[in-house]
Chain A
Amino acid sequence: MIKNISNLGDAAVYCDFGPEVSEIVNSNVINYFNHLADLIKKEKIKGINNLTPSYNKLIVSFDLSTTNFSKLKEIIQNLDIDKVKKKKNKTIKIPVCCDDEYGLDFNRLNHKLNLSKEEILKIYFNKEYFCYMTGFIAGMPFLGDINEIIRSDRLETPRIKVPEGSVGIVEQFANIYTCESPGGWNIIGNTPKKIFNKSNLQNPALIKPGDKVTFFQISKQEYFKFNE
């Protein structure tokens, strides 16, 4: 449940679900997100411009000419979230090629973790991940939690350009770079699958908050054949 509602400036509601980051807390955030998105779609709430769910927060930004903080706070406080039908989440399978030209940071990870590339990948692929949120530039999914044995910090110096499709890990999280961008995650491979497709206007983001994601390894031949 929401622990505290405050204002983020004069045109956003800041819903705080407590300090813990877990699948349970995040599922709760996503329930509120889905419920509000549904009410906006049915035109039962006016003035909301955007909803931004993250690990343990939901930010509701609005048009100050149409509504205000106290009106929306009241609506959010009185949402009957228990009655919300849980959305059925998908499980998405992502192919990853981890050959040396794609897995850019195995040298670093070998030293930091004292594990071989094969050991790291065995642990990484042997898990189903949960999508906490998507965002930053274009549909980048923030997935978790990765096994404690293979957790690592950010790169000391972030890369200026991380290639599109790169699969990265930092602390308990994994992500996929949906477009070429700067970044400091440890890159372990690259997927040929399009994670964010801006020409698909109805459904640009393949992975959505609340979805489950599994990864499987492919060879370089399979990588090149994937989009044929």
Chain B
Amino acid sequence: MSKTYFEILRPGINTTIQDSGRNSLYHIGITISGAMDQRNYKFANNIVNNKLNKAVIEFAYQGPLLKLRNGTINFVITGEVSFNLIRNNFQVEEGRCYQNYNLYDDEQIDIISTKKSVYGYLSISGGFELNETWKSYSINTKAQIGPNNGKKYSMNEKIFVKESNIKNIKNNKINYKDSFNNIIRVIKGTNFDYFSNQAQKTFFNKKYTVSRLVDRMGMRLDGPNLENIVNTNIKSEGLVRGVIQVPADGKPIILLSDHGTIGGYPKIAIVISADLDKISQLTPGTEINFKEVSLEEAENIFKAYNEETNKYINESN
């Protein structure tokens, strides 16, 4: 019997496989990777009855055009995404996010674009047929690790899927609407006192704009320069997702999922865990404000974030 797969008729801008991330390898320079928006990633798996940590397709801005071959599947798309289903009778059906659909042999999913956001997710019931690298299916394009030889997908490539027994799959739905606000909560960084009093005030009081230099590794911001009065270099040390470092040019950079594991720029602040999904969805040109919170506040906000995620997950079942 032939295998079921998606044929990629249009790859989209940055289409990769992602999951919850690749851990325990920072010490040899392999970064965490994983879905940029972990909440939408979990929702995608939840709606098609997968375990929450299954691998999914992540796309950015314009997504792929996928044609299903040799089988039937059940899938969902999460995020703020406009997409169509192209049925076998050439009828085009407008897709809705956060609800699952059956897709039959030779039908297509046309992911047109994300709306006022960057990343969207496509999960299929039962998941994809992929090889694991260091306990993760995430593609890390910088180190070229993971499925598809660590590269983003190109035209005419295939993504093999597990065929669904669609009789056993019920309709599922989450009523989720991302509540966007432009306040990013942070904890002061380990080099906060490297910056002048004026710079410390500027960081919290002035707006910063997401520049065009943004990818899965990091996000450069435009805005007032932050004056460093101690040293613009530190001895290279470990980094984590959410670190905001400021190189000699005074412009902050936020580190995201594919960040380098060590670096030598001073850290002015770190984005709290609960705001990492939000920050990854910001498009170039968006203005943001940083707000300081304490460690205890950050922990409580994260607890509330987790509870909210689980509430949506429980409601859908």
Binding site for B on A (CB under 8 A): 6-12, 14, 21, 33, 40, 49-59, 61, 64-65, 68-69, 133-140, 142, 178-179, 196, 198, 201, 204-205, 208-209
Segment from B26-34, B53-61, B63-71 that makes contact with A = B26-34
Cross-chain contact A8 with B32 (CB below 8 angstroms): no
Closest-CB distance, B150 to chain A (whole angstroms):
8
Binding site for A on B (CB under 8 A): 23-30, 32, 133-134, 142-145, 187, 189-190, 235-240, 242-243, 260-263, 267, 270-273, 295, 298-299, 302, 306
List, in ascending order, chain B residues with CB within 8 A of A10's CB. Answer: 187, 270, 272-273, 295, 298-299, 302
Cross-chain contact B23 with A7 (CB below 8 angstroms): no
A54-B236, A69-B295, A139-B30 provided; 4 other pairs, C-beta below 8 A? A9-B243, A50-B25, A59-B237, A179-B144
List, in ascending order, chain B residues with CB within 8 A of A51's CB. Answer: 26-27
Known contacts being A9-B273, A139-B29, is A52 close to B262, with CB within 8 Å?
yes
Known contacts being A55-B236, A55-B237, A136-B260, is A9 close to B27, with CB within 8 Å?
no
Closest-CB distance, B232 to chain A (whole angstroms):
13
List, in ascending order, chain B residues with CB within 8 A of A55's CB. Answer: 235-237
Q: How far is the CA of A102 from the CA of B295 in the complex (A)?
A: 49
List, in ascending order, chain A residues with CB within 8 A of B145's CB. Answer: 138, 198
Q: How far is the CA of A227 from the CA of B165 in the complex (A)?
A: 49
Residue in chain B with minimal CB distance to A173: B236
Known contacts being A8-B267, A135-B261, A137-B260, is A209 close to B235, with CB within 8 Å?
no
Cross-chain contact B299 with A64 (CB below 8 angstroms): yes
Q: How far is the CA of A172 from the CA of B299 in the complex (A)?
A: 40
Known contacts being A138-B29, A198-B145, A201-B133, is A50 close to B24, with CB within 8 Å?
yes
List, in ascending order, chain B residues with CB within 8 A of A137's CB. Answer: 29, 142-143, 260-261
Cross-chain contact B306 with A65 (CB below 8 angstroms): yes
Closest-CB distance, B193 to chain A (whole angstroms):
12
List, in ascending order, chain A residues with CB within 8 A of B32's CB. Answer: 49-50
Known contacts being A9-B272, A14-B190, is A134 close to B27, with CB within 8 Å?
yes
Q: How far is the CA of A51 from the CA of B187 in the complex (A)?
A: 21
Residue in chain B with minimal CB distance to A205: B28
Cross-chain contact A68 with B270 (CB below 8 angstroms): no
Q: How far is the CA of A132 from the CA of B3 in the complex (A)?
A: 48
Closest-CB distance, B108 to chain A (whole angstroms):
34
List, in ascending order, chain B residues with CB within 8 A of A68's CB. Answer: 299
List, in ascending order, chain A residues with CB within 8 A of B271's CB. Answer: 9
| Among candidates A58, A64, A204, residue contacting B28 with C-beta atoms closer than 8 Å | A204
Q: How far is the CA of A135 from the CA of B240 in the complex (A)?
A: 13
Known contacts being A12-B240, A135-B261, is A61 close to B28, with CB within 8 Å?
no
Cross-chain contact B273 with A61 (CB below 8 angstroms): no
